[in-house]
């Protein structure tokens, strides 16, 4: 893989044929954002679900309680996703074909609309006082144990999840699509999916999932900070101050940037005690405001959508 030529020597995306350009990739990425907004995730034959099945099969053959096995597992799957992306770009040789291919892949890997729908579903459960339904649905958004959460705890979990996943679901794939075209889109989603599957700490994945977790941290480092900056750009209500003051308090090198910016934008206080499958984490608080209320879930969803639109506008401006 290597950079090809683009209009005026500038380009956005990689292509083995040299046919990709800044303009074509930008148009494809923005069209993909529009498709995600209109359609959400594919209802059937979702490529990410297909990748997850392939990853599960590979794990059965490669798993061992050793870091090097996880490195091989992650390298093969992420490398395979990149190779598929190169193949797609080589097949889509013309400008129209390349733009449409970029749009289709962008739509497949983005999850911003589905994230918003999950957030709004949680808001509806809580608004009508159906805490049990909200607890049952929470695992769709995060790995937090919902059983002991009251309505305030569920609300905070949803706001934090929408904030963090705005980067994972929307900004990070767009960033890597802008940097590396279709291969970047597919490789990012492969890394993020593997992190969700094996990257969390547990007796089984403490060593095997190390590579996926560390690679996910690395590829999200810049996008998380871009997300925080876009939140500040879109809100103008203290998000920038909270991003700078509290963004580094979170144990994750990336999630805190998104959550701190959202806390400042919404005027709420995030962080506190979280429980994950019996493991308790006490996280520093971010923001100076009140505890999140149900209405803040809807505010977080609107802000997440605005940040995605802002990212698309930035990409369009770079044509």
Cβ atoms of residues 215 and 77 within 8 Å: no
Digit-coded pLDDT (tens) for 268-307 = 999 987 776 667 778 889 999 999 999 999 999 999 999 9
Other beta carbons within 10 Å of 232: 21
- Averaged pLDDT of the chain: 90
Digit-coded pLDDT (tens) for 45-66 = 788 899 999 999 999 999 999 9
CA angle 154, 234, 306 (to 5 degrees): 65
Digit-coded pLDDT (tens) for 141-198 = 988 888 889 999 999 999 999 999 999 999 999 999 999 999 999 999 999 999 999 9
CA dist 113 and 59 (Å) reads 30
For the entire predicted model, the pTM comes to 0.89
Q: Encoding tokens for residue 242?
A: 């909270």
CA dist 170 and 255 (Å) reads 14
Q: Is the pLDDT reported for residue 9 higher than 70?
A: no
CA dist 72 and 211 (Å) reads 9
Give 207-248 as a DSSP string: TTTHHHHHHHHHHTHHHHHHHHHHHHHHH-SSHHHHHHHHTT
Other beta carbons within 10 Å of 17: 14
Of 109, 98, 75, the residue nearest 186 (C-alpha): 109
Cβ atoms of residues 169 and 178 within 8 Å: no
């Amino acid at each position: 893989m290597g950079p090809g030529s683009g209009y005026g020597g500038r380009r956005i995306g990689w292509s083995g044929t040299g046919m990709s350009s800044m303009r074509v990739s930008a148009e494809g990425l923005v069209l993909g954002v529009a498709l995600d907004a209109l359609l959400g995730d594919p209802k059937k034959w979702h490529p990410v679900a297909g990748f997850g099945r392939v990853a599960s099969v590979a794990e059965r053959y490669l798993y061992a309680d050793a870091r090097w096995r996880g490195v091989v597992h992650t390298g093969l799957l992420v490398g395979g996703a990149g190779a598929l992306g190169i193949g797609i770009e080589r097949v889509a040789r013309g400008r129209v074909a390349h733009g449409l291919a970029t749009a289709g892949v962008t739509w497949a890997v983005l999850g911003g609309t589905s994230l918003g729908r999950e957030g709004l579903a949680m808001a509806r459960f809580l608004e009508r006082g159906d805490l049990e339904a909200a607890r049952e649905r929470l695992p769709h958004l995060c790995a937090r144990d919902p059983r002991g959460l009251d309505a305030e705890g569920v609300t905070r979990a949803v706001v934090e999840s929408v904030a963090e996943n705005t980067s994972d679901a929307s900004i990070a794939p767009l960033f890597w699509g802008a940097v590396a075209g279709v291969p970047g889109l597919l490789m990012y989603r492969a890394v993020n999916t593997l992190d969700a599957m094996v990257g969390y700490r547990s007796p089984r994945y403490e060593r095997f999932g190390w590579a996926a977790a560390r690679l996910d941290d690395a590829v999200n480092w810049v996008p998380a900070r871009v997300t925080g900056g876009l939140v500040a750009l879109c809100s103008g209500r203290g998000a920038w101050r909270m991003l700078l003051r509290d963004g580094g308090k979170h144990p994750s090198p990336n999630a805190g940037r998104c959550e701190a910016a959202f806390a400042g934008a919404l005027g709420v206080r995030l962080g506190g005690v979280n429980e994950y499958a019996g493991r308790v984490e006490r996280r520093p608080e971010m923001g100076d405001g009140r505890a999140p209320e149900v209405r803040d879930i809807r505010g977080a969803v609107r802000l997440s959508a605005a940040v995605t639109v802002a990212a698309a506008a930035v990409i369009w401006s770079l044509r």
